[in-house]
Chains A and B, each alone.
Chain A
Amino acid sequence: MTAVTPTTTSRPRALTFGNVWLSVILVAILFIYPFVFGKTLNFGISTLLFAGFAMSWNILGGWAGQTSLGHAALLGIGAYAMTLLATPERLPPFLSSPLAPWWGALVGMVIAVAVAAVWGWLTFRLQGSYFALSTIAVALVIRLIAINSNWTGGAEGLFMPDLPRPFGLDLFDRNVEYWLAFAFVVLTLVITHFIRRSRMGYALQAVREDEDGARALGIDPARMKLLAFMLSAALMALGGSLYALYLQAFEPHTILELPLSIQIALLAIIGGRTTIQGPLIGALVLSIFGEVFRNVFSSANLLIYGVLILLVTLFAPNGIMGLFQRAGSKLGTAR
């Protein structure tokens, strides 16, 4: 049993403070985006949603260090719940207010949290790659249910029905969707900042670095990992609801497949899973890369993910943020 290395737990205060400013700068950039690039809102929305997914994944995958390769299932739960309950006939009359589509998002979050609780309770005794394998299996079972059930629309998937306009907002308007995705990213960012400085955040990092050591300090690793998984699931499902709004129509093939789960995990890892803004930066960088290379590689857009993850694994184990931090500390010592 080795002690938790002090470098990960006692960070200089100045660096943490700088971290907040980095978040503020990133949010400011995202805030300005629609005013400057109003013509490419689709790109902005999908980038933001994936940034949010990656940050949600990171609560479990980065802070708790549990590499899940099945998170698309949780995203899918959110998307399905929102779409199914957006049909007024499926809701009790007193809920069929203009807020109707959002009840679905809420239900999706509750279901996702419940699924995560059972899922985590079953699988957290497995370590490392075994845990990753089990998440693939659970996600594939959920996918099979979606494909073979009638109420999910089977392999054809679902269409988002006509939606009421809460406060006069057209939810199919790209501008509205951009700000919803923006709010999702800000929410996830604020929550991760909050966790970072909380007792739970320190406990999670201790669990990630050394489970036995954490237990010796009086932390219950299983409980901490479960909490992280449930929080991660709730945010994933919320993001999934927004993704369903953005897509308007989806099928199990697009929203529940393994490559989507892998893509989300890789965004966070390439960006830097041990940092707060890493997943956000990973999503921004990879979206831009993907856009640039789209003409070159057309549908083979995941090629760039493959190349980058290989480079990051070999040369920058802490991701893009890790590179920044290393460069920053070198500058610091040079001065």
Chain B
Amino acid sequence: MDGVAVTAFFQTLVQGLLTGGLYALIGTGLSLIFGVMKIINFAHGDFLAIGMFITLALFKAFNLDPYLSLLVAAPLGFGLGYVIQRFVLARLGDRLGEGSLLATLGLGLIISNTLLLGFGAQPQSINVPYAINTFKFGGVQVSVSLLIAGIGTVLAISALNLVLYRTELGRAIRATAQNPLGAELQGVKTANIQAIVFGLGVSFAAIAGVLLMPLLYTFPTVGENYVTKAFIVTVLGGLGNLPGAVVGGLVLGVIESMGAFYISNNYRDAYGLIVFLLVLLLRPEGLFGKTVKRV
């Protein structure tokens, strides 16, 4: 391989890893919710869209730096998730399995169509001067916003891990995930924990939306593209497996980026989907998970 080819390879790899980091962030929220409640949140992409539109609205209204929107989007996402779990999903009771699919689909439609009413269907973006800047390591170019997104992803996932493994709340969450009845008997208020977890999951989707906003256009149904990525990531890593979601995200990012560069850019989305289907069919416990009982 000559120098140009090597640089191109590393360029593709870095691009893939950074995009994959964002996928990991989206997938972590989904996987967390699945891990505790055993439901797949079909509105996850729409929560991401909410994060993007909060950023857009604040930028338009106050010229607020997109990354400062995190201070609004993260808590707002948490609150929204908490309320939805408390007042919608918790009411499904023993119909949670089938009911959550429909309820979250319905919530997703409500969110995307409300955004459509509020902001119109036109794709919109924000213009921050540093968004077009790039870093250069050797020959490899990386856009500043993608780098910030990557750092944000690492920070958010580390913070979640600190909460899960170093705090009393984290113990309660892990207990609820493992055995809700047992946790309840030990005095854990599992209804509250589930609402907190759903809030955290939504909050992660919203954070991902904020980090994506300087990089992309947004439109009300933008979540659709990302919700499939989130599904792929979580299935690759094993549903409910948080470190798996991170690795799954990186793998998906690299597969897409490499496939787009070396095979065909037109089928960029197909590589992930095909890997997804293969993993779903051959190893439903995920690429990296140890064999767990089938759900």
Question: Which chain A residues have a beta carbon within 8 Å of chain B's beta carbons?
Answer: 67, 122-123, 125-130, 132-134, 136-138, 140-141, 144, 147-148, 258-259, 262, 266, 269, 297, 299-303, 305-310, 312-314, 317
Complex alpha-carbon distance, A258 and B107, angstroms: 16
> Which residues of the other chain, B, contact A266 by a CB distance below 8 angstroms?
102, 105-106
Task: Kindly report which residue of chain B lies nearest to residue A65, judged by CB atoms.
Answer: B98
> Which residues of the other chain, A, contact B270 by a CB distance below 8 angstroms?
140-141, 144
Task: Kindly report which residue of chain B lies nearest to residue A262, judged by CB atoms.
Answer: B105
Given contacts A128-B98, A134-B280, whether A306 and B113 have CB atoms under 8 Å apart is: yes
Complex alpha-carbon distance, A306 and B281, angstroms: 30
* Partner among A136, A148, A299 whose Cβ is within 8 Å of the Cβ of B266: A148
Listed by A's residue number, 24 A-B pairs whose Cβ atoms lie within 8 Å are: A67-B98, A122-B281, A126-B281, A128-B101, A129-B97, A132-B40, A137-B232, A140-B269, A140-B270, A141-B277, A144-B269, A148-B264, A266-B102, A266-B106, A297-B113, A299-B116, A306-B109, A307-B110, A309-B109, A310-B103, A310-B110, A313-B102, A314-B88, A317-B99
> Which residues of the other chain, B, contact A148 by a CB distance below 8 angstroms?
264, 266-267
Given contacts A299-B116, A307-B110, whether A314 and B92 have CB atoms under 8 Å apart is: yes
* Partner among A258, A259, A303 whose Cβ is within 8 Å of the Cβ of B110: A303
Residues B103 and A130 in contact, CB atoms below 8 Å apart:
no
Residues A133 and B40 in contact, CB atoms below 8 Å apart:
yes
Complex alpha-carbon distance, A262 and B228, angstroms: 14
Given contacts A133-B235, A302-B113, whether A123 and B281 have CB atoms under 8 Å apart is: yes
**Known pairs A129-B101, A266-B102, A303-B117. 14 more at Cβ < 8 A?**
A133-B235, A140-B270, A144-B266, A147-B266, A148-B266, A266-B106, A300-B113, A303-B113, A305-B106, A306-B108, A307-B106, A309-B106, A310-B107, A313-B102
Residues A300 and B98 in contact, CB atoms below 8 Å apart:
no
Residues A137 and B228 in contact, CB atoms below 8 Å apart:
yes
State the Cβ distance, A139 to closest chain B Cβ, in Å: 10
**Which residues of B from 272 to 295 have beta carbons under 8 Å from A?**
273-274, 276-277, 280-281, 284, 294-295
Contact digits for B238-267, partner A, Cβ 8 Å, 1 yes 0 no: 000000000000000000000000001011
Complex alpha-carbon distance, A111 and B101, angstroms: 29
Given contacts A306-B107, A306-B109, A314-B103, whether A144 and B267 have CB atoms under 8 Å apart is: yes
State the Cβ distance, A99 to closest chain B Cβ, in Å: 36
Complex alpha-carbon distance, A309 and B98, angstroms: 13
* Partner among B102, B264, B266, B276 whose Cβ is within 8 Å of the Cβ of A137: B276
Complex alpha-carbon distance, A208 and B270, angstroms: 32
Residues B113 and A133 in contact, CB atoms below 8 Å apart:
no
Complex alpha-carbon distance, A22 and B105, angstroms: 30
State the Cβ distance, A333 to closest chain B Cβ, in Å: 25
Q: Cβ of B121 < 8 Å from any Cβ of A?
A: yes
State the Cβ distance, A267 to closest chain B Cβ, in Å: 13
> Which residues of the other chain, B, contact A302 by a CB distance below 8 angstroms?
109, 112-113
Q: Cβ of B39 < 8 Å from any Cβ of A?
A: yes
Residues A67 and B101 in contact, CB atoms below 8 Å apart:
yes
Residues B101 and A138 in contact, CB atoms below 8 Å apart:
no
Task: Kindly report which residue of chain A lies nearest to residue B220, judged by CB atoms.
Answer: A300
Q: Cβ of B114 < 8 Å from any Cβ of A?
A: yes
State the Cβ distance, A114 to closest chain B Cβ, in Å: 18
> Which residues of the other chain, B, contact A133 by a CB distance below 8 angstroms?
40, 231, 235, 280
Q: Cβ of B12 < 8 Å from any Cβ of A?
A: no
Complex alpha-carbon distance, A137 and B270, angstroms: 9
State the Cβ distance, A221 to closest chain B Cβ, in Å: 16
Complex alpha-carbon distance, A300 and B116, angstroms: 6
Given contacts A133-B231, A141-B270, whether A310 and B88 have CB atoms under 8 Å apart is: yes
Complex alpha-carbon distance, A302 and B287, angstroms: 36
